[in-house]
Amino acid sequence: MMLSPKMSWTLAALALAAALAGCDAPRDPGFQGWVEADMIFVSPDEFGRVTKLNVREGDEVKAGSQLYAVDDDMQQADLNQNKATLANAQQSYDRALSLSKTGAGTQATLDAALSALRVAEAHVVTSQTRVARRIGFAPVSGTVQQIYFREGETVAAQRPVLSIMPPGNMKVRFYVPEPELPKLAVGDEVRVTCDNCAGDLTAKIYFVSTSAEYTPPVIYSLDERNKLVYLIQARPSRPDALRVGQPISVFLNAKTPVADKR
């Protein structure tokens, strides 16, 4: 069917209007951020040399599994000494008890011997605990993120031998300017995107900063630079799909078109 010139011009005008309306539709520029995690650091109580390492970086571990062992020579020596002291204290107590039964010993002597025995027993338990804690066990289930000391290296007291990342400790961090802050609240769900990631990633906000700060240098958005912003943290719904340190973009409205980054 042939269209009249007037009808053709009308359809063309409508098409142009629709195109212009599409161009004017608000597009969500998103907010730049990155992925972080709260690591669990596993360390010995006392310094020593790592004698055994049972895991490698990237290994999945279960809570309670053995991770490493540190030499226990000094702890074993202390345990043996306290066991000898306990044996002497036991003999002294037995002797005092025997004399007390025959009337040749005093109650004060028996009480002193019993007290010394209890102290010696406590020292043995403490030494046994020190020996047992030379083996490091996983306090939680997760992935071995980094190993700081290898077999043969000496680790100081309270210095971590390795770190574990539980899946639930993964988080995304991003900053929003003050005008956008009223749009966010704890419990809100946001959309997360990253290079070559799945298109259905989301995260739930669990922290909204109450104090403003300047845009951190790792955020390169020209729109946000040199402005006061607020830190937002959210837990991803699929932490296994993200990696620590990975740059991400966060969008508040999943239905808003994403702005062209070109």
Same-domain status, 46 and 96: no
Residue 260 CA to residue 113 CA, distance in Å, equals 84
pLDDT of residue 60: 95
pLDDT of residue 28: 62
pLDDT of residue 159: 95
pTM above 0.75, yes or no: no
Q: Which residues contact 148 (CB under 8 A, 6 or more apart)?
A: 155, 159, 160, 161, 162, 163
- 48-53/154-155 β-pairing: antiparallel
Same-domain status, 123 and 204: no
Same-domain status, 105 and 191: no
For residue 51, how far is the Cα from the chain centroid?
26
* Nearest residue to 192 via CA among 133, 129, 247: 247
Contact call for residues 134 and 69 (beta carbons, < 8 A): yes
Mean pLDDT, the chain cut into blocks of 10 residues (262 residues total): 48 46 56 92 96 96 96 96 96 92 85 95 97 96 95 95 91 89 90 84 91 64 62 90 88 60 42
CATH of the domain at 232: 2.40.30.170
Domain encompassing residue 102? 73-132
pLDDT of residue 160: 96
Compute the residue count for the chain.
262
**CB-side neighbour CA atoms (13 Å) of 186:** 5
183-210 pLDDT per residue, tens:
889 999 999 988 888 878 899 999 999 8
Residue 141 CA to residue 135 CA, distance in Å, equals 17
Contact call for residues 42 and 163 (beta carbons, < 8 A): yes
Angle between helices 107-132 and 73-102 (to 10 degrees): 160
Task: Count structural domains, the chain.
Answer: 3
In a domain, 91, yes or no: yes
Same-domain status, 202 and 238: yes
Same-domain status, 174 and 239: yes
Same-domain status, 171 and 80: no
Same-domain status, 199 and 123: no
In a domain, 260, yes or no: no
pLDDT of residue 261: 44
In a domain, 174, yes or no: yes
